[in-house]
């Protein structure tokens, strides 16, 4: 029953962890009479059923509330009903490579851009990332570049990414910019799809990702667009994805439009506690794009943890000066990465107490 969730309205919360097929058929029959559809959202604890359409029909709600296997109908007044902290999904946990976000500081690290001509840099970087204690490996295959003549990425790098994943045993994250990338990445075994800052407001791409991952345990790392203002705009972008049935969306502040000279973007890790007041979604901060220079990344990473981030996404390279994309300016060396992760984990533990 998964389909296009143009407008998610009320949620049906069953008494059991999920409806039986018979119950689902009955519920579907009722909402169909009122021109609505049912969209299943599979949470870690229980499945909830969104009524997609116009939920203002009191008679429909009354009939659903009258069913003995329905616990209640949740009508949260929020533009992001699934991602809202008050949603039944607030107990949902996201797990990547056996590690559940929220249980330890979750660190994604690796190159901005994989160099398809020099795969060994990425293999060595991946080994260093593993050795640094990171939980997942990042590597850009397709790159959104401001300059149309800059290197735009290469599909060959997808093989390099997956080979590095096999060698290290680390799950991988890579950015997708169009539907063809989504299919290629999922078919190759990429576990975390990154939506970049430039595409975080590309609603057709968000819908395409939501649809593609609906039946999988794939996770999406959603960067914050520099054009996003209100926090609800960021969380609603996550809702676009979750509305198709898989709520595994992580929010990633990565700096916003710079208001002063010096940093590439204006560091926005301080929005972490504000996000956490509104949504249950884990927050993984990207300090690398935020400050845009390796020298400042460690401070930005620690600041993010101090603000309550659940994780970090850091660019690193065995030899930054030999890297491509952002790596020459932003990537941490293995030594600094190791130190940054160790300190960030210590701070995370202090914060937890």
Contact partner, 254, from Mn ion, ligand PEP, none, Cβ < 5-8 Å per class: ligand PEP
**In angstroms, what is the minimal distance from the CB of 326 to Mn ion?**
4
Indicate the residue among 43 and 287 with the shorter CB distance to ligand PEP.
287
- Sites for Mn ion among residues 75-134 (CB under 5 A): 112
**In angstroms, what is the minimal distance from the CB of 282 to ligand PEP?**
17
Q: Is 322 left (phi over 0), alpha (psi -120 to 50) or beta?
A: alpha
Indicate the residue among 134 and 242 with the shorter CB distance to Mn ion.
134
Residues of this chain that bind ligand PEP (CB under 6 A): 112, 140, 144, 175, 196-198, 223, 254, 286, 289, 326
Indicate the residue among 43 and 171 with the shorter CB distance to ligand PEP.
171
Contact partner, 84, from ligand PEP, Mn ion, none, Cβ < 5-8 Å per class: none
**In angstroms, what is the minimal distance from the CB of 233 to ligand PEP?**
16
Indicate the residue among 84 and 326 with the shorter CB distance to ligand PEP.
326
Say how many C-beta atoms besides its own lie within 10 A of residue 155's C-beta: 13
Among the listed ranges 39-47, 82-90, 298-306, 320-328, the one in contact with Mn ion (CB under 5 A) is: 320-328
Contact partner, 268, from Mn ion, ligand PEP, none, Cβ < 5-8 Å per class: none
Indicate the residue among 11 and 112 with the shorter CB distance to ligand PEP.
112
**In angstroms, what is the minimal distance from the CB of 289 to Mn ion?**
6
326 binds Mn ion (CB under 5 A): yes
**Residue nearest ligand PEP, CB atom distance:** 196
Indicate the residue among 168 and 330 with the shorter CB distance to ligand PEP.
330
**In angstroms, what is the minimal distance from the CB of 285 to ligand PEP?**
11
**Residue nearest Mn ion, CB atom distance:** 112
Among the listed ranges 70-78, 122-130, 228-236, 323-331, the one in contact with Mn ion (CB under 5 A) is: 323-331
Say how many C-beta atoms besides its own lie within 10 A of residue 101's C-beta: 21
**In angstroms, what is the minimal distance from the CB of 157 to ligand PEP?**
13
Work out the end-to-end distance of the chain between its first and last CA atoms, rounded to an integer number of angstroms.
43
Whole-angstrom Cα distance, residue 174 to residue 194? 5
Contact partner, 196, from Mn ion, ligand PEP, none, Cβ < 5-8 Å per class: ligand PEP
**In angstroms, what is the minimal distance from the CB of 223 to ligand PEP?**
4
Indicate the residue among 3 and 144 with the shorter CB distance to ligand PEP.
144
Indicate the residue among 55 and 286 with the shorter CB distance to Mn ion.
286
Contact partner, 75, from Mn ion, ligand PEP, none, Cβ < 5-8 Å per class: none
**Can you give the chain as a three-state secondary structure string?**
CCCCCCCEEEEEEECCCCCCHHHHHHHHHHHHHCCCEEEEEECCCCEEEEEECCCCCHHHHHHHHCCCCEEEEECCCCCCCCCECCCHHHHCCCEECCEEECCECEEEEEECCCCCCCHHHHHHHHHHHHHCCCCEEEECCECCCCCCCCCCECCHHHHHHHHHHHHHCCCEEEECCCHHHHHHHHHHCCCEEEECCCCCCCHHHHHHHHHHHCCCCCEEEEECCCCCCCHHHHHHHHHHHHCCCCCCEEEECCCECCCCCCCCCECCHHHHHHHHHHECCCEEECHHHHHCCHHHHHHHHHHHHHCCCCEEEEEECCCHHHCCCCHHHHCECHHHHHHHHHHHHHHHHHHHC
Whole-angstrom Cα distance, residue 4 to residue 9? 13
Q: Which residues bind Mn ion (CB under 5 A)?
A: 112, 326
């Amino acid at each position: 029953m998964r389909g296009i969730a143009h407008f998610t309205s009320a949620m049906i919360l069953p008494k059991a962890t999920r409806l039986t097929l018979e119950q689902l058929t009955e519920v579907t029959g009722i909402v169909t009479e009122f021109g609505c559809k049912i969209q299943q959202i599979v949470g870690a604890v229980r499945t909830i059923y969104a009524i997609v359409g116009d939920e203002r029909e009191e008679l429909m709600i009354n009939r659903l509330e009258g069913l003995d296997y329905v616990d209640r109908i949740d009508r949260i007044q929020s533009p992001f009903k699934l991602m809202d902290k008050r949603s039944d999904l607030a107990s949902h946990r996201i797990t990547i490579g056996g590690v559940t976000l929220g249980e330890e500081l979750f660190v994604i690290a690796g190159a901005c851009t994989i160099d398809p001509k020099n795969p060994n840099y990425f293999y060595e970087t991946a080994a260093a990332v593993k050795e640094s204690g990171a939980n997942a490996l990042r590597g850009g295959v397709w790159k959104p570049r401001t300059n149309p003549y800059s290197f735009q990425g290469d599909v060959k790098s997808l093989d390099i990414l997956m080979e590095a994943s096999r060698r290290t045993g680390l799950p991988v994250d890579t950015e997708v910019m169009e539907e063809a990338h989504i299919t290629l990445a999922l078919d190759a075994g990429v576990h975390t799809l990154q939506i970049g800052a430039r595409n975080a407001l590309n609603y057709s791409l968000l819908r395409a990702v939501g649809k593609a991952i609906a039946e999988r345990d794939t996770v999406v790392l959603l960067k914050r667009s520099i054009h996003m203002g209100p926090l609800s705009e960021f969380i609603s972008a996550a809702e676009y994805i979750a509305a198709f049935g898989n709520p595994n969306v992580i929010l990633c502040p990565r700096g916003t439009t710079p208001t002063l000279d010096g940093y590439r973007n204006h560091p926005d890790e301080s929005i972490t506690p504000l996000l956490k007041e509104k949504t249950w979604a884990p927050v993984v901060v990207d300090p690398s794009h935020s400050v845009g220079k390796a020298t400042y990344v460690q401070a930005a990473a620690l600041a993010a943890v101090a603000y309550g981030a659940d994780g970090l996404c850091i660019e690193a390279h065995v030899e930054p000066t030999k890297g491509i994309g952002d790596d020459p300016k932003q990537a941490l060396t293995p030594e600094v990465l190791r130190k940054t992760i160790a300190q960030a984990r210590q701070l995370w533990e202090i914060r937890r107490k």
